[in-house]
Structure 1
Amino acid sequence: PLVYNGRVYLYTGHDEDGSTYFTMKDWRVWSSADMVNWTDHGSPLSVSSFSWAKSDAWAGQAIYRNGKFYWYVPTTNRSTGRMAIGVAVSDSPTGPFRDALGHPLVENGEIDPTVYIDDNGQAYLYWGNPNLWYVKLNSDMTSYSGSPTKVNLTTSGFGSRSGDANRPTLFEEGPWFYKRGSLYYMVFAAKCCSEFIAYSTSSSPTGPWTYRGTIMSTQGSSFTNHPGIVDFNGGSYFFYHNGALPGGGGFTRSVAVEKFSYNSDGTIPTINMTTTGAPQVGTLNPYVRQEAETIAWESGVETEPSSEGGMNVGFIENGDYIKVKGVAFGTGATSFSARVASGGSGGKIEVRRDGATGTLMGTCDVPGTGGWQNWTTVSCSVTGASGTHDLYLRFTGGSSYLMNVNWWQFTGNGGPTTSPSPTPPASP
């Protein structure tokens, strides 16, 4: 996660469908203004973005500095066969990103970079499995001073592991390094396998560290877990992964988030996985254009790059639906419009309230447009769209793919009763 300009941007890996190993070819970006409706920004970075890389788009982290976004990622160096840390750069949090160097930033066969810029402007890059390393990054964020330093992993600093003489501490991988107040935190995946999430703290960015215990115990049907912690809009949020979605497991993982509060002494409470996740921050405004790929929950649909920029929702079949949470209709909407395309015979968009089979507020007919990227706008009247409700767009029609949807918007009498943050326009 990265907080920027009133939104949380989430930089993820991507397990390939049906994977039986860590088969990962690209990275993806999502963003949210309310912690429940997430906009899919697609894949602005992949293994092929690095001419020197051959495989393994594994766990990275992005950070903002001086008008640019830097994304540190581990991937396998084609020429050496070892894991190396690359850095990509963009002018936008959603990319596109490009290789900043044309070669690895650091390479010692270890993975999982985490990056933080201290209050005095000094940036640090930590990474490692099975060891933990750091370098001091220069202000350009693409070079460093000195040589990589290996952290002294002590049991007092990182907990005690039994039964493995080669790894006496709990540190495994996936470090997440940050500062809160005057305290530095090193959150990490502990004791494979299955992993849990633990953490250590220090009064210095380079240690020595003091082990603080477990944040999230082993749970969630994935034998790995990785942490990410940010503060946003007055709350603290813990990101992690599990295998909780249908078909999920240790090689087909999904990202989840929980809201939490630090203890008064700065320690982190025990956090458990839930199916509800974080509560919504504010509401969503239906009277501005909302990307169809802004979703709280979906069934059956996928996303793809759109000819009109950004992403669109596609591969829609009869009975599929999209849920958008906490939509503030205010005094009432009178019509619904959607940007659609269909290379088939089209179908219908049912505009429903509070459930996939909830109150039907309106139905929009979608015609065939002669191509899956031949876009047109359809509109229909709606009734009963007032107050704040969860919105369900349910798609119906024939037995094959029905339509693509790029964006939607309501029009109405008075607009929302609150002032939520609209989804930003899609990146070019």
Structure 2
Amino acid sequence: MRIRAGLAVLALSAALVPGSARADNPIVQTIYTADPAPLVHNGRVYVYTGHDEDGSTYFTMRDWRVYSTADMANWTDHGSPMSLTTFSWASADAWAGHVTERNGRFYWYVPVKNRATGRMAIGVGVATSPTGPFTDALGRPLVENGEIDPNVFIDDDGQAYLYWGNPNLWYVRLNTDMTSYSGGVTSIPLTTAGFGARTGNTGRPTLYEEGPWVYKRNGLYYNVFAAECCSEFIGYSTAPGPTGPWTYRGTVMPRQGGSFTNHAGIVDFNGGSYFFYHNAALPGGGGFTRSVAVERFTYRSDGTIPAITMTAAGPAQIGTVNPFVRHEGETSAWASGVETEPTAGGGINVGYIDNSDYLKVRGVAFGGGARTFTARVASASAGGRIELRLGGPSGTLAGTCTVGGTGGWQNWATVSCPVTGASGTHDLYLRFTGGTGYLLNLDWWQFNA
């Protein structure tokens, strides 16, 4: 029997919020996500996230997730390529990590609780693909001092640095194998000149709280961090070198968003700069049920970062979607009511689909027109229908595909139907209709000209 997780019901209710059908932040609606770590690789942005369990009243997190995009609007769900069980020595707390690539291998640095010591330690997962699967690179912690939130930066000279810390800020110089380091664990002085003065908590003299994100731009080193809990805002400092001395520069994102934490990641992609963060924007959201979002921004001429405000719209789409090639069902700008799950034989499919659930794909360029629509589907029930709507979940109906029972949720069949009136560029909505209960699973879809 299929048991539906709580968030899918909440995601369905998101469709009832005025304007939410047009809003594409947060970027994931099928689960709660937190602590984004973006990575640009081969023409895509990959964002690595934590996963807040439904109904959490603490930071209850057991695995990590990966999503990617080529257009900053439609995101592909790659599932969970790493979890607590990846690390045999870890007992709990799959918290905020960071991924980097070196020499064709991807290294995921994560804080987890060491079963033997009961303290937080930094582990390293490794993979040959940005979407995993990741395995434990060491079989033990890379470094352990009870603190969290690792971030890795590789400088222009090839020297890699691992930063982490709450309540302190630490770094080590990683060797080129990325799984060992030279020298000792070094503390970065948390001075008020370097990280600002805190006013409400004398136990911590500076604004630095956690979540460092260190990078280099035009010869200047940036350290963007979560500041002054609780609730946190995002501040930043700059330095002439990767280890300082740091100078506090101000606020990047003020306190907002309904979560008492925030966690930042910044990348440049396709000529734009993007700021990732988390908030509590989904129904049921809060300090322990967070969601990742993103905004585009522009540095000032002197290299400083402007104040960035959370929006429901998110960044503009880069380019358009070609509907005449195959698209995974788990790629969308907004998913209402559905969940994703592993597909038998590998991959991810969309499942737990009820009547009136839908998927939005932003900016689909039909050109002179589409004639037919084909989808790979499965159903252990009587099935349902896929309505092809343009502009909104109740927009122009361009076609309807009927899906019958296939004898199982992973017994796949291909269905096709005629399409009329689909020309030009539109937001495409795959709206699912039928009786009660789960209707069908969707693996992929494609239009034909």
TM-score (norm 1): 0.96
Determine whether 1:64 maps to 2:64.
Answer: no
User: Counterpart amino acid of 2:63?
Assistant: D
The amino acid across from 2:363 in the alignment is G
SS in 2 for 1:14: strand
Q: What corresponds to 1:417 in structure 2?
A: none
Q: 1:350 is matched by which residue type in structure 2? A: E
Deviation at 1:164, TM superposition (A): 2.2
Q: Shift of the alpha carbon at 1:298? A: 1.3
The AA in structure 1 aligned to 2:257 is: G
Residue number among 28, 41, 50 corresponding to 1:4 in the alignment: 41
Alignment of 1:19-418 (within 5 A): 19-412=56-449
Distance 1:240 1:343 in 2: 39
Amino acid at match of 2:171: Y
Q: Following the alignment from structure 1 to structure 2, what is the Cα–Cα distance between the partners of residues 147 and 38? A: 40
**Cα displacement string for residues 83-107 of structure 1 (whole angstroms, at most 9, x for unaligned residues):** 0000000000000000000000000
Deviation at residue 163 of structure 1 after TM alignment: 3.3
Tell me the distance in 2 between the aligned counterparts of 1:320 and 1:335.
Answer: 22
Q: What amino acid is the match of 1:116?
A: F
Q: For the residues of structure 2 that align with 1:108 and 1:384, how far apart are their CA atoms?
A: 62
CA offsets, 1:279-310, max 9 Å, x none?
10111111111000001001100000011421
> For each residue in 1:210-262, what CA deviation from the matched residue of structure 2 results, as whole angstroms up to 9, or x when unmatched?
00000000000000000000000000000000000111111110000000000
CA shift for structure 1 position 181:
1.2
Query: Equivalents in 1 of 2:346, 2:300: separation in Å?
Result: 44
Gaps of 5+ in 1: 413-428
- Letter matched to residue 436 of structure 2: S
C-alpha distance in structure 2 between counterparts of 1:146 and 1:290, whole Å:
48
Deviates most, 301-310 or 136-145 = 301-310
Q: Within 2, Cα distance between the matches of 1:221 and 1:69? A: 33
SS of aligned partner of 2:234 = strand
Give the 3-state SS of the residue equivalent to 1:163 in structure 2.
Answer: coil
Structure number with greater CO (CA < 8 Å, separation at least 6) is 2
1:343 is displaced (CA, Å) by: 0.7
Aligned residue-pair number: 412
Give, in whole Å, the separation in 2 of the partners of 1:21 and 1:386: 48
Listed as ranges, the gaps of 5+ residues in structure 2 are 1-37
* C-alpha separation in 2, matches of 1:151 and 1:313: 45
Percent identity over paired residues: 74
Residues 24-46 of structure 1 show CA distances to partners (whole Å, capped at 9, x for unaligned) of 00000000000010000000000
Q: SS at the partner of 2:122? A: strand
The reply to whether residue 14 of structure 1 matches residue 14 of structure 2 is no
The alignment partner of 2:363 has SS state of strand
Q: Normalization by structure 2: what TM-score?
A: 0.91
Q: For each residue in 1:155-177, what CA deviation from the matched residue of structure 2 results, as whole angstroms up to 9, or x when unmatched?
A: 00000001322200000001111
2:225 is paired with a residue of what secondary structure? strand
Distance 1:11 1:185 in 2: 20
| Deviation digits for residues 318-369 of structure 1 (CA, Å, limit 9, x no counterpart) | 0100000001111111010110000111000000001000000000000100
In structure 1, distance between residues paired with 2:217 and 2:200: 34
- Give per-residue Cα distances to partners, 1:115-149, cap 9 Å, x unaligned: 11100000000000000000000001000001110
Q: 1:375-404, CA deviations, whole angstroms, 9 ceiling, x for partnerless residues?
A: 011000101111110000000111100000
3-state SS in 1 of match to 2:51:
coil
